Amino acid sequence: MSTPLSTLIVDDEPLALDLMERYVLRTPFLRLEAKCSGGAEALEALAGGGIDVAFLDIQMPGMNGLELSRLAGDRTRVIFTTAFQQYALEGFRADAIDYLLKPIDYNEFLRAAHKALKWFSLTREKTEPTPSAPTHTYLLVRSDYRQVRIDTSDILYIEALKDYVKIFLASSPQPVITQSSLKSLEDRLPAGQFMRIHRSHIVRLDAVKIIERSRVVFGKTYIPISDTCRDDFLRALEGRPIPQ
């Protein structure tokens, strides 16, 4: 996790507050946003909504740490600190990450801070979007002394013709003709999206709408499915959405 956790410490005892400040500054994955000596002051720090972790002393005059935790908001994870062990149960009922009993040494502090780090790491992994693969891939072929860039999602099927291949597109009545072998072109197509169904034909699987008498139908064109390819081809079509 690259971004440090923004941290608030609250304690009405100056020595305890200074100790917690030193602990936070010593911990690389924590960033001190504010230190407060009372609940009212801490509420102002929490009002901006940018606090990840709050170390709250439970027993304070005025607003105590338990009351303050209920106003902290869903984003802020609380770690209670207190000199009184009897508050432990109340602290965990308040959905605290951890509970530290004074006097607190750094190892105990670090253990609790790591719990908060783990919680935020898991939460952000679930909410951050996973980078998606590009929607379109392209094929660059030479045709009539020009380089033609073809969106592979526009291809219906490809037909071999001696030393040439014809690439039939959904967007054009005329095929793109290029000098190439069918095998060479097949190797350049996106994996899993195209399939050879005959020694001279490749089809884009998502473009197939109709199969009739062991032939794929594209308008008035009928492409034969060889016996050796038939079973694999039908399995490849299962579970694919029918193109609109």
Judged by phi (left if over 0) then psi (alpha if -120 to 50, else beta), residue 67 lies in: alpha
Q: What percent of the chain has pLDDT over 90?
A: 55
What is the tens place of the pLDDT at every residue in 133-178? 555 688 899 998 889 999 999 999 999 998 899 999 999 999 999 9
Q: pLDDT band at residue 94, thresholds of 50, 70 and 90?
A: low
User: pTM to 2 decimals?
Assistant: 0.51
pLDDT averaged over the chain? 87
pLDDT at 74: 80
Residue 113 or residue 242, greater confidence: 113
Mean pLDDT of 179-197: 90
Q: Is 23 helix (H, G, I), strand (E, B) or coil?
A: helix
Q: pLDDT band at residue 92, thresholds of 50, 70 and 90?
A: low
The set of residues, in sequence order, having a beta carbon less than 8 Å from that of 163 and lying 6+ positions away, is 179, 181
Is pLDDT at 107 greater than 90 in this prediction?
A: yes
